Amino acid sequence: MPRARAYRGRPTVIFYLAFLLAGTAMAASADDRDAAVFGHVQAFEKSGDIEPGELLREFENDRLAAAWLAETTPEERLALLRGIQKAAAGAGGAMVEEDNGEIRLELLGRNPFAVLFRVQDEPPYAITALRTEAGVSRPKVSWDSVPERISEMEDKGLSGVIYVARDHETLVREAYGKSNRALGYDTELDTVFGIGSTPIDFTVAGVLLLEQEGKLSLDDSMDAFFDGVPVDKRGLTIRHLISGQSGLPDFHHIDSDWDADLAWIDRDEAVRRILAQPLLFAPGKGNAHSHSAYGLVAAIIERVSGQGYFEFLSSTFFEPAGIRRTGMYGDDGGLGLRDFAVGYGRSSVGVPNIPPNWGPTSWLVMGSGGMYSTLADMLRFYRFLQTGDVLDEEHARRMGGETVAIGGSERGFYFFYASNGRGNAAMLLLNGGGQSPEVRDLSQALETLVMSGAEPR
């Protein structure tokens, strides 16, 4: 399932790994829970900017369960929140994991600090337990130690391709491990991988290009593109959709779908489902990641351009940039079995477990998943956006600068990209070991290195 969060620009805390990569349930109700938990995480992250009394009132009124309020005193709650505030204000990164129902938010800095909490089993998923402890001091890497660190991880099962650059100079561009363990195929630099939710970047670039061409405005509402838009969504704009402010739930699969990503639905059914969903909040009045929002943007791209989603991407970005090994599920793109990495994750579909065997990309994930690519193709895409050949300076700036993108799949693929927009970058496409703590630690360390540009102290 392509259910990792993807960032464009800097989040409040610079590293966030989706709960679903750690095994959160696939049911539709889990999406609502994820949104609620993500809201709690964001509130903790932003607590350093809020006056303590106001923060206490917010949590008591909106986030803490009545039973836990009854078990604690205001003084105890305030002391906990003050400690979280102090850590959040000085954090340079964060990681989120869930284990047996307890969510662990690690605020990373010179003095790592962990916030651990549980939520109700039913809406509104308020916090039922909250505690803090010293965080884990995670291994750091320097520019010089990156190759050695990665080689050590290959011995523990890491497989995929990794790229690291400093000041535009390539330090690492290597393939590791096996792309197909059963057949003994070594991973090659041009091996093809599932890329999880990374197509979100394709979708955002596409709608920015259409705005640049004067074919739409980011402030256009849904009424301009779809009939019968419900009253609560008539103020919903494209800008809301691509900024996390839509209020839409994360996904739009239903219980009768045999798979939450692969079950086939067409564009019209996806639009109907998405627009029929209750909002988590009024558009523009909150922030929560939504894959469904990008599905609507993909539908808008098709309607405005008059082309299919992949046809549009191919003619505007892929062909001009020389991107040749990027495609949609269910289509091998003329490539052979040896070209594709097999995913080694919690779930498997088809033999072997590769994107061409997963059926045509469903509108359950169109615009936010359902694609495969290579290291070279993804680097070409990001570089092409900055050449000025397709996006003008204003629109390219929205896709550039400091960037972190994370994509993942329960079928075993992991994608990570970090760039400071000034020549430091790291990219990982993995088919083995992507869900391990070691890879998460490496991703966070690379992100910190890329963004700071300095050796860790």
124 prior amide bond cis, ω within 30: yes
Question: Across residues 370-399, what is the average pLDDT?
Answer: 92
Q: What pLDDT score does 5 carry?
A: 39
| Residue showing tokens 């400091």 | 402
- The CATH code of the domain that includes 96 is 3.10.450
pLDDT digits (tens, 9 = 90+) for 328-381: 999 999 999 999 999 998 889 999 999 999 999 999 999 999 999 999 999 999
Residue type for 125, please?
A: Y
Say whether pLDDT at 210 is over 80.
yes
pLDDT digits (tens, 9 = 90+) for 121-167: 999 999 999 999 987 666 678 899 998 888 888 888 899 999 999 99
pLDDT digits (tens, 9 = 90+) for 308-318: 999 999 999 99
| DSSP 8-state class, residue 101 | T
| Residue showing tokens 């615009």 | 367
- Structure-model confidence comparison of residues 27 and 435, the more confident one: 435
pLDDT band at 30 (very low <50, low <70, confident <90, very high): low
CB 160 within 8 A of CB 415: no
Examine the domain organization and report whether 294 and 245 are in the same domain. Answer: yes
Examine the domain organization and report whether 330 and 429 are in the same domain. Answer: yes
| Residue showing tokens 């939504």 | 290
Q: What share of the chain in percent tops pLDDT 90?
A: 65
- Residue that terminates a domain, selected from 277, 305, 333: 305
- The encoded tokens of residue 234 equal 């008539």
pLDDT digits (tens, 9 = 90+) for 88-128: 887 766 778 888 899 999 887 667 789 999 999 999 999 99
- Residue that terminates a domain, selected from 273, 305, 337: 305
Examine the domain organization and report whether 428 and 440 are in the same domain. Answer: yes
Burial zone of 153 (CB within 10 Å; 0-12 exposed, 13-18 middle, 19+ buried): buried
Examine the domain organization and report whether 435 and 298 are in the same domain. Answer: no
Q: What pLDDT score does 119 carry?
A: 95
CB 106 within 8 A of CB 114: yes
> Lowest mean pLDDT: which of 59-68, 208-217, 400-409, 441-450?
400-409
Mean pLDDT of all residues belonging to the chain = 88
Question: Across residues 281-307, what is the average pLDDT?
Answer: 94
CB 3 within 8 A of CB 291: yes
Question: Across residues 170-174, what is the average pLDDT?
Answer: 96
Examine the domain organization and report whether 328 and 360 are in the same domain. Answer: yes
Establish if 371 belongs to a structural domain.
yes
Range of the domain at 244: 202-305
Q: What pLDDT score does 453 carry?
A: 56
Establish if 7 belongs to a structural domain.
no
Examine the domain organization and report whether 287 and 385 are in the same domain. Answer: no
Establish if 345 belongs to a structural domain.
yes
- The CATH code of the domain that includes 384 is 3.40.710.10
pTM of the model: 0.80
Beta strand 371-373 with 327-328 is: antiparallel
- Residue that terminates a domain, selected from 91, 111, 134: 134
Q: What is the dihedral of CA 188, 194, 200, 204, to 10 degrees?
A: 40
Examine the domain organization and report whether 446 and 413 are in the same domain. Answer: yes
Examine the domain organization and report whether 261 and 233 are in the same domain. Answer: yes
Q: What pLDDT score does 355 carry?
A: 97
Strands ordered across the beta sheet of 403-408: 169-176, 159-166, 425-432, 414-419, 403-408
Burial zone of 164 (CB within 10 Å; 0-12 exposed, 13-18 middle, 19+ buried): buried
Examine the domain organization and report whether 219 and 329 are in the same domain. Answer: no
Angle, in degrees to the nearest 10, between helices 375-385 and 199-212:
30
Say whether pLDDT at 9 is over 80.
no
Residue 354: which residues within 8 A CB-CB, separation 6 or more?
A: 337, 340, 341, 342, 343
DSSP letters spanning 272-290: HHHHHSPPSS-TTS-----
Q: What pLDDT score does 139 carry?
A: 66
pLDDT band at 19 (very low <50, low <70, confident <90, very high): very low
Angle, in degrees to the nearest 10, between helices 267-276 and 291-305:
130
- Structure-model confidence comparison of residues 269 and 108, the more confident one: 269
The helix (run of H) or strand (run of E) holding residue 310 is: helix 309-313
Domain count, the chain: 3
- Structure-model confidence comparison of residues 269 and 442, the more confident one: 269
Establish if 101 belongs to a structural domain.
yes
Partnered with residue 116 across adjacent β-strands are 104, 131
Question: Across residues 47-72, what is the average pLDDT?
Answer: 92
Q: What pLDDT score does 353 carry?
A: 96
Examine the domain organization and report whether 358 and 214 are in the same domain. Answer: no
3-state secondary structure (DSSP) of residue 250:
coil
Establish if 38 belongs to a structural domain.
yes
Establish if 4 belongs to a structural domain.
no
> Lowest mean pLDDT: which of 1-10, 248-257, 285-294, 314-323?
1-10
Examine the domain organization and report whether 411 and 426 are in the same domain. Answer: yes
Examine the domain organization and report whether 351 and 395 are in the same domain. Answer: yes
- The encoded tokens of residue 325 equal 């090994």
